[in-house]
Every structure is written in C-alpha cells, then in structure tokens.
Amino acid sequence: MTASGTATDPVCGMTVDPERAAATHEHAGETFYFCAVACRDRFARDPARFLAPPDARSAPEAAAPGEPARATYTCPMHPEVRQPGPGACPDCGMALEPLAPSLVDPAEDPELVDMSRRFRVAAVFTLPVFALAMGRHAAPGAFAALSPAADHALQLALTLPVVTWCAWPLLARGWTSLATLRLNMFTLIALGVVAGFAYSAMAVAAPGLFPAGFRGHDGSVGVYFEPAAVIVTLVLLGQVLELRARGRTDSALRALLELAPPTARRVASARLEEGVPVDVIAVGDRLRVSPVE
C-alpha cells in the first residue's frame, strides 16, 4: 500500500482503494488488493509471475548474434501476458500485439495472410455443404436424385478439409485452453466443431450403431456437417476482420509517432540546455518544449 492509502493491482496495474477493492488475497504475509475478482484469480494461480520485476516480465528474449531483438508482445485483454514474438494469448486465445508501436512499417502480417487463406478455402467448401443441407428443405425436388446416404457422404468429404486444415489454429487454441484449464471462446468453438463432426462422421460410417429413435423417415441418421463447417468459416472471418482492424490501428499509431521530433531540448541546469536524440531521454530528465512545438 502506498503512503496515500491506495494500493496497486499487481495484475493489471490499476490503482485500488483498499476499502472498495473487489477482491483481496494473502500471500507471503502481505495483503494484495484487486480491482476485479478475475485479477485476483489470475494472481492466486501464479503470484511469482506478477511479483517479478517489470523488466523481468517484459524483457524481450535475447537475440542470437547478428539477429535483431524480438519485440515483446502482449494481450489487449490480459496485459500481464508478455512474450517475445507474436502468438496467441494463453488466457483468452486472442492474437497478441506488440507492447510498443514501432516506426518501422512491417511487412504484411503473416497471421493475417494465413487466416485469410484458411477463410477462403473454408468458404469454398462450406457453401456447397450449406446448399446440400438446406436444399432438401428449400427445394426438395432439386435433390431427389441424390440419396440421403450419398448426400451425407458428400457433405463429409466437403467438411473434412474445413474442420482439419482450415480450423487447425482454432482447434489448437481450444486444446491449449483445455490443457491449461483457462477456458475461453475457443474452448466452445473446438468442442462444438469436434463434437458435431465426430457425431456426423460416425453416423455416415456406422449408422447401424444408432438406435431407431435417431433415424428419420427415410432411415438415415441426421448429420451436423453444415453447422460445424459454418462455425469454422464464420470464426475465421471474425479473425480476419479483427487482424485487419488491428493493422489499421497500428498504421495510425505509426503515423502519429512519425509526427514526433527526432530531438528534444534537455535542461541540464538553470541556464544550460542541450539538444539530444529522443532515444536517449530517460525518466527524470527535464525537457523544455516551446509553445510552437
């Protein structure tokens, strides 16, 4: 607790009034105050992670000789997550973003390229699956020549690449959330897609295993290939839109940073000023900024 009677949430860094704190936690004989129960729960799982010095938590991984240092990335929803290089947040599964914006305009985002490619492939295979699943209800005569067994087998073949290659990043994030018990949106996506596809594939491969109550009037077992494929395609579309919006935000921040002057006037004494590069300014330096600047 600070001298002013307030405390700092060790997870998110917010200032907390101890008397109005949403949650508290005892660790090593000290009481910590939190702005939310979620922050308290994350702290309780690994106190050492949040009590480490900030430099130790956010320092980038040492680069190999002759290679540039890797930027530190963080999660916009969980700012305590820090890691060198891009990736997915272990708590919510969101794509990490650089901790500090850079003036260097990077090449095309490789994650956006990958997600866009997977979305396009998923859309190509999902559209005919959707047409087959909905066509028998909208226009039964158009699919009269296609038997239910052949219809389901064709849906299986079209859905297979969607729920394997296209959905791989989503399933990997869902598996990570289950392995670490940090359940999130990707947990539901992975469970829903895998359950729907596995059930439907079994209905096609071994329909005799299902009781009569699971069969329709034509004797076939209902399948859920269309929901599994549509879920994957829509989630990939959401990832593409999110990454594009983030890229536009980064471009706006770089444009704003480019307006900053390369040098500043540092006050060395009451009568002495020196022009120094902005990069060498440290905490505690006194700077003079004229009105026109």
pLDDT, tens only, 93-150: 887 877 766 655 566 778 889 999 999 999 999 999 999 888 776 666 666 677 888 8
Q: What is the span of the domain harbouring residue 131?
A: 110-255
Whether residue 43 contacts residue 30, with contact meaning beta carbons closer than 8 Å, is answered with no
How many CB atoms are located within 10 Å of the residue 121 CB? 16
pLDDT at 230: 96
Judge whether 95 lies within some domain: yes
How many CB atoms are located within 10 Å of the residue 31 CB? 12
pLDDT at 62: 46
Q: Is pLDDT at 3 greater than 60 in this prediction?
A: no
Confidence band for 157, pLDDT divided at 50, 70 and 90: very high
pLDDT at 138: 65
Judge whether 105 lies within some domain: no
Tell whether 42 and 62 lie within a shared domain.
no
User: Mean pLDDT over all residues of the chain?
Assistant: 81
Judge whether 224 lies within some domain: yes
Tell whether 162 and 235 lie within a shared domain.
yes
Confidence band for 213, pLDDT divided at 50, 70 and 90: confident
Tell whether 131 and 242 lie within a shared domain.
yes
Tell whether 208 and 228 lie within a shared domain.
yes
Tell whether 40 and 64 lie within a shared domain.
no
Judge whether 86 lies within some domain: yes
Q: What b/e sequence results for 45-81 when a residue is b if at least 16 CB atoms lie within 10 Å of its CB, and e otherwise? A: eebebbeeeeeeebeeeeeeeeeeeebbbbbeebebb
Tell whether 30 and 93 lie within a shared domain.
no
Tell whether 161 and 241 lie within a shared domain.
yes
Maximum mean pLDDT: which of 4-13, 87-96, 110-119: 110-119
Long-range contacts of 260-265 (CB under 8 A, 24+ apart): 261/293, 264/289, 265/289
pLDDT at 196: 95
pLDDT tens for 37-57 read 777 888 888 888 788 765 444
* Structure-token match 């290089």, residue found: 85
Tell whether 124 and 215 lie within a shared domain.
yes
Judge whether 45 lies within some domain: yes
Judge whether 19 lies within some domain: yes
Which two three-digit tokens encode residue 17?
């009034």
Judge whether 140 lies within some domain: yes
Domain count, the chain: 4
Which two three-digit tokens encode residue 241?
């839109």
Tell whether 120 and 6 lie within a shared domain.
no
Which two three-digit tokens encode residue 250?
């980064």
Maximum mean pLDDT: which of 23-37, 101-115, 229-243, 256-270: 229-243
Q: Is pLDDT at 58 greater than 50 in this prediction?
A: no
Residue scoring higher pLDDT (89 or 14): 89
Threshold 0.85, pTM exceeds = no
Average pLDDT over every residue of 15-36: 85
Judge whether 225 lies within some domain: yes
Tell whether 85 and 126 lie within a shared domain.
no
Tell whether 130 and 78 lie within a shared domain.
no
pLDDT at 60: 45
Tell whether 45 and 87 lie within a shared domain.
no
